[in-house]
Structure 1
Amino acid sequence: MTDLPTAQPADASDDVRTLAQITDTVVAAARAAGDEVTDRTVIVAIDGRSGAGKTSLAELVAERLAAPVVHMDDIYPGWDGLAAALPVLADEVLIPLRSGEPGVFRRWDWAAGEHGGELEVPVAPFVVVEGCGSSVGPAGQLADLRVWLDADAEQRRARGLTRDAGSFDEQWDSWAQQEDELFEADGTREHADLVFDTTDIAATD
């Protein structure tokens, strides 16, 4: 992984207070990583708990980098599948991409409650991976830039439940427990290259 300085949380820095500024910082760091990695895809992982703003940031970063986005929501095999998604991300997506081959995995069909068709992640100069667990374990070791988003727990919950229009209500607590267990065991936040607090930023993931 590229050795990059850890950013100050957004609410503690005069320089990083908006989503646009966070985006600028992440894009600059990704391009710096790309300057050091010239012969393969640069992997940018945007991680954090539900409702922290990962998807919103990933879309902005990907647009600036002309990068495809891998959504962990497409990989989790259901509401109990946070940990089960991690080897799929590493083995079927990131390792092939770093070897110059497309990543291919079976997308989870949330409505049907089963795996659906295959999704292909094309080889590109940059690929952005976003979602809970995107920088955990082997996936984190395969990432060139690890970004962690923090936010107040109540605001995250409000964002998440509003975003998913009621589909997340009954699952929030059990999913949060999976997050806690995974991130505590992995030390994910501590391993991040960039850390931002999005509590006072309107955009959500």
Structure 2
Amino acid sequence: MPPSSPPLRPAPPRLHALAAQVLAAPPRLGPVRLVCVDGPACSGKTTLAARLAAALGDVPTVHMDDLYEGWDGLPTVAGRLRTWLLEPLRAGRPGRYRRYDWPRGEYAEWHEVPLRPALVVEGVGSASRVVEGLATSKLWVEAPEDVRRTRAAARDGGAFEPYWDAWAKAERDHFAAEDTRRRADLRIDGVSGAQDLP
């Protein structure tokens, strides 16, 4: 389930306003302002994260897809997020993570996450309770399931389809346990781009 690179269009004015708000806030993760972009699969998180990272000044983006240990990795990903990124950044050190190689079914090379004014982490589980008190902004992106399934088929050429139902159940269980949607600072429609404060 590695993220594809969406075409990067200019961020709309509201994204620039959000970026300015994030950069004006005091950092909570050492010197870093953490922005988490969460929501169900194929809702538009990767596209939003890329545009927001650009609006923040081309800050680093970490994709949760690189941290899961395969299709069953959602329940344990918070531990890697904490150990690899949150703890070092909070201590004022660069973070680092090992990219999961989906075709090989194992972790591959390490990537460093430098200390920058902001960091965008996107993907299911990025706004779990492990980031509470550390995230400057938690965004929730949603879209109807039929739209998301169509996007998955177009993006992955049908590779996601055999895993969709099991992954969707894992997402639902995770979001219910973490109360992710309610805890978000901003909810975004992944189709229209409309924003809603909780």
> What is the TM-score when the length of structure 1 is the normalising length?
0.82
8 Å contact kept, 1:46–1:148: yes
Question: 1:133 maps to which residue?
Answer: 125
Alignment of 1:84-163 (within 5 A): 84-163=76-155
Alpha-carbon distance in structure 1 between the residues aligned to 2:39 and 2:14: 15
Q: Deviations over 1:106-139 (max 9, x none)?
A: 2111010011111111111111000011001213
Q: How many residues are matched?
A: 182
Unaligned runs of 5+ in 2: 1-10, 194-198
Q: What is the SS of the residue equivalent to 2:93?
A: coil
Question: 1:192 maps to which residue?
Answer: 184
Alpha-carbon distance in structure 2 between the residues aligned to 1:51 and 1:154: 10
Greater relative contact order (Cα < 8 A, sep 6+): 1
1:37 partner amino acid? P
Residue 37 in 1 paired to residue 8 in 2? no
Percent sequence identity over aligned pairs:
40
2:126 partner amino acid? S
Deviating more after overlay: 137-146 vs 160-169: 137-146
8 Å contact kept, 2:37–2:123: yes
Structure 1 or 2: more helix by fraction = 1
> What is the TM-score when the length of structure 2 is the normalising length?
0.85
8 Å contact kept, 1:45–1:140: no
Alpha-carbon distance in structure 1 between the residues aligned to 2:106 and 2:96: 17
Q: Give runs of ≥4 in structure 1 deviating > 2 Å.
A: 19-26, 36-39, 139-142
Kindly state the Cα deviation for residue 22 of structure 1 after the two structures are TM-superposed: 4.9
8 Å contact kept, 2:23–2:117: no
Unaligned runs of 5+ in 1: 1-18
1:45 partner amino acid? C
